[in-house]
């Protein structure tokens, strides 16, 4: 079953992202295209009737060069040529082109027929002009007429958001920001599961606490919620308080403990407001909030069920209504109950109705970010959509399924929050280590990998703490620039031809990788690529700063190094912003 993670993207979504670069190559997109054209022209010298498809990649060993291509190996069999000899002919023809001199310093044949290129100093230094010109938009693409919806967090309004929701929030918001940088029209949506048994358990839990029944009492509901927040809701319900939910709806408690409907409505509104406060603390704003309950009140669930019955893909058995999910090509291993014997619907039925609304709203590209415990839902929702025969691709929507988070402090796992009762909340993490650390730590690993959130590491001021290390690099650059404030007007146009030290070329190459890193993060639905890049860029900066003095006597060299520092500051800040992390000017 094609469930997506950071490593793979479904065919439908891949076509949506077809323009993205898959290789992180240390050169600008314009230079990549120029080199491809040079190679294509060179191929036509020994093979005039061939129109090659040229791909560029980074050599596996850095010492072999900056860029490589296997075009000679691809064409050798068709051309009935020795690949190394063909590669040498291509190299000779390429280096004979006058246009190559400004871009390629050398080209050589390696291994069975690879061609390795070394870029000229000017080609590597050109990234500074691009950063100066584009500033905050370096690495961005122009706006495209492509809509994408990312649905994430989507918690039941039965308690505060927990660390799993925090991981979804970090993944989802970072991915949305990266998509926006790639020119997509992005919508963030939160789907409130405000119907079903869990909401009923919430209501009876509040009722019990309002009646003075303690969570450890045998009279407390067996499946009830036991956190302190339940008592807070009960007190406010008895005090007939008013709460305002995220959609602006105000709900005033009746104080009537005999009305579970009143308690349910107030408790849901109360917890929606609490979750809004969690999201505000995280610095996250959603474009839409969609209520599961509205699917029932609007008749969408009933209409969807009737449409599935009319499609001929359902049958009655043992007093229940079943969907033939095993026959619909989405990977489900058996048929699934839609309507139970008691007349209630199973949980995936409203999910199908909800996704119909996404499609009808024009979101032909949609991503759902959910915990790995939702794995079984994927095939069932897709099967329901296929049964409706609406022209929806079989792999729609796309899914990122993430593993849960273990929180560790002083070497021991932290499991309990007084406020929530049985889990660590999003606001617990933010209170302990701050928003920046929470956001960065929760996206620095693949979504489908287990993650240990180390509180002590997140609080440390050392290079082992990645967010501190990156922010410190940014702050250090700002300090350097403040010391040279009188030169600020000359820095953007300073000549850069004196930047020839090995650590300077390493940093220039790293900066040139940034646009392709954004492209890879978007294509693989994997913001951790950007987190890794930021850490590597900070390391390259610190290595350069420790090896080369910036404020030297040579005025032109000093200006060139200030320009390199300023460009690094700019791109570090850009990358941190896409992760929702601040870029401090001093620490």
CATH for 29-125 is 3.30.1360.70
From the list 211, 207, 204, 205, the residue with the least C-alpha distance to 226 is: 205
pLDDT of 72 above 80: yes
* Cβ atoms of residues 504 and 557 within 8 Å: no
pLDDT of 15 above 80: no
Return the H-helix or E-strand segment holding 186. strand 185-192
* Cβ atoms of residues 103 and 42 within 8 Å: no
What are the pLDDT digits (tens) for 410-453? 999 998 665 666 788 999 999 999 999 999 999 999 999 999 99
What is the number of other CB atoms lying within 10 angstroms of the CB of residue 30? 10
Describe the chain by its helix, strand, coil percentages, rounded to 5.
50, 15, 35
pLDDT of 3 above 50: no
Kindly report which listed range (61-65, 161-165, 568-572) carries the lowest average pLDDT score. 61-65
Q: What is the pLDDT of residue 419?
A: 61
- 190 DSSP 8-state letter: E
Q: Rounded to 10 degrees, what is the CA torsion of 195, 198, 203, 209?
A: -160
Phi and psi at residue 223, to the nearest 5° = -105, 25
What are the pLDDT digits (tens) for 42-52? 999 999 999 99
* Cβ atoms of residues 68 and 104 within 8 Å: no
From the list 509, 236, 412, the residue with the least C-alpha distance to 244 is: 236
What is the C-alpha to C-alpha distance for residues 287 and 354, in angstroms, rounded to an integer? 16
What are the pLDDT digits (tens) for 365-416? 999 999 998 888 899 999 999 999 999 999 999 999 999 899 999 999 998 6
What is the C-alpha to C-alpha distance for residues 43 and 402, in angstroms, rounded to an integer? 45
Contacts of 10 (CB under 8 A, 6+ apart): 2, 4, 395, 396, 398
3-state SS, residue 250: strand
pLDDT of 91 above 60: yes
Tokens of 87: 């590669």
- Range 255-270 burial, b when 16+ CB lie within 10 A, else e: bebeeeebbbbbbbbb
CATH for 462-578 is 1.10.730.10
Q: What percent of the chain has pLDDT over 90?
A: 87
Residue 393: burial class (beta carbons within 10 Å; 0-12, 13-18, 19+): middle
What are the pLDDT digits (tens) for 245-267? 766 779 999 999 999 999 999 99
Give the residue range(s) of CATH 1.10.730.10 domains in the chain: 462-578
From the list 394, 420, 513, the residue with the least C-alpha distance to 66 is: 513
Tokens of 163: 């660390």
Give the residue range(s) of CATH 3.30.1360.70 domains in the chain: 29-125
What is the C-alpha to C-alpha distance for residues 457 and 472, in angstroms, rounded to an integer? 15
- Range 351-384 burial, b when 16+ CB lie within 10 A, else e: bbbbbbebbeeebbbbbbbbeeebeebbbbbbbb
pLDDT of 7 above 50: no
Rounded to 5°, angle at Cα 278 from 272 and 294: 25
Query: Greater confidence, 55 or 249?
Result: 55
Please, what is the end-to-end C-alpha distance for the chain in angstroms? Answer: 48
CA distances to 205, 246, 428 from 230, rounded to whole Å, are: 7, 20, 17
What are the pLDDT digits (tens) for 286-315? 999 999 999 999 999 999 999 999 999 999
Tokens of 475: 């702050």
Tokens of 4: 């997506």
What are the pLDDT digits (tens) for 160-189? 999 999 999 999 999 999 999 999 999 999
Q: What is the pLDDT of residue 404?
A: 87
3-state SS, residue 7: coil
Q: What is the pLDDT of residue 330?
A: 87
Strand order in the sheet with 366-371: 288-291, 185-192, 147-151, 366-371, 398-402
Per-residue confidence band for 11, with pLDDT thresholds at 50, 70 and 90: very low
Phi and psi at residue 105, to the nearest 5° = -80, -40
Per-residue confidence band for 6, with pLDDT thresholds at 50, 70 and 90: very low
Task: Give the chain's count of helices (H) and strands (E).
Answer: 21, 16
């Amino acid at each position: 079953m094609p469930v997506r993670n950071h490593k793979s993207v479904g065919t439908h979504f891949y076509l949506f992202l077809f323009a993205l670069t898959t290789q992180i190559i240390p050169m600008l997109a314009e230079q990549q295209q120029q080199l491809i054209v040079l190679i294509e022209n060179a191929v036509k010298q020994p093979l005039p009737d061939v129109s090659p498809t040229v791909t560029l990649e980074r050599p596996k060993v850095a010492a072999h060069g900056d860029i490589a291509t296997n075009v000679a190996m691809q064409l050798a069999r068709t051309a009935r040529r020795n690949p190394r000899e063909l590669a040498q002919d291509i190299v000779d023809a390429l280096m004979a082109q006058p246009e190559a001199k400004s871009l390629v310093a050398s080209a050589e044949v390696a291994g069975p027929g690879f061609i390795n290129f070394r870029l000229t100093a000017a080609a590597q230094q050109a990234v500074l002009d691009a950063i100066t010109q584009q500033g905050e938009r370096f690495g961005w693409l122009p706006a495209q007429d492509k809509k994408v919806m990312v649905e994430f967090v989507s918690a039941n309004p039965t308690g505060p958001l927990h660390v799993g929701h925090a991981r979804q929030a970090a993944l989802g918001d970072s991915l949305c920001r990266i998509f926006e940088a790639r020119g997509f029209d992005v919508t963030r949506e939160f789907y409130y599961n405000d119907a079903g048994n869990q909401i009923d358990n919430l209501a009876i839990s509040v009722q019990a606490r309002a009646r003075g029944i303690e969570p450890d009492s045998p009279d407390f509901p067996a499946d009830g919620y036991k956190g302190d927040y339940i008592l807070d809701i009960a007190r406010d319900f008895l005090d007939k308080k008013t709460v305002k939910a995220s959609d602006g709806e105000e709900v005033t408690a009746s104080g009537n403990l005999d009305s579970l409907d009143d308690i349910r409505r107030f408790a849901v509104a109360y917890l929606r407001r609490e979750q809004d406060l969690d999201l505000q603390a995280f610095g996250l704003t959603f474009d839409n909030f969609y209520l599961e309950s509205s699917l029932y009140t609007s008749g969408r669930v009933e209409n969807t069920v009737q449409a599935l019955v009319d499609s001929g893909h359902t049958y009655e058995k043992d007093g229940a209504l079943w969907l033939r999910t095993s026959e619909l090509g989405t990977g489900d291993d058996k048929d699934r109950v839609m309507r139970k014997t008691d007349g209630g619907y199973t949980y995936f039925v409203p999910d199908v109705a909800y996704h119909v609304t996404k499609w009808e709203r024009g979101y032909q590209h949609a991503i759902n970010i959910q915990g790995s415990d939702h794995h079984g839902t994927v095939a069932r929702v897709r099967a329901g959509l296929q049964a409706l025969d609406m022209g929806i691709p079989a792999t729609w929507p796309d899914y990122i399924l993430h593993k849960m988070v273990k929180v560790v402090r002083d070497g021991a796992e932290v499991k309990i929050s007084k406020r929530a009762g049985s889990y660590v909340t999003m606001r617990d993490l933010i209170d302990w280590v701050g928003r920046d650390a929470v956001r960065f730590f929760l996206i620095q690993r693949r979504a489908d990998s287990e993650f240990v959130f180390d509180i002590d590491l997140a609080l440390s001021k050392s290079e082992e703490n990645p967010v501190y290390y990156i922010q410190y690099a940014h702050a250090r650059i700002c300090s350097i620039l403040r010391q040279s404030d009188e030169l600020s007007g000359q820095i953007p146009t300073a000549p850069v031809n004196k930047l020839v030290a090995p650590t300077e070329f390493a940093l220039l190459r790293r900066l040139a990788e940034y646009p392709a890193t954004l492209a890879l993060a978007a294509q693989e639905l994997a913001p951790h690529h950007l987190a890794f890049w930021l850490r590597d860029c900070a390391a390259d900066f610190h290595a350069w700063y420790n090896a080369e003095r910036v404020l030297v006597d040579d005025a032109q060299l000093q200006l060139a190094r200030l320009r390199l520092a300023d460009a690094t500051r700019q791109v570090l800040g850009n990358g941190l912003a896409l992760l929702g992390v601040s870029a401090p000017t001093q620490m």
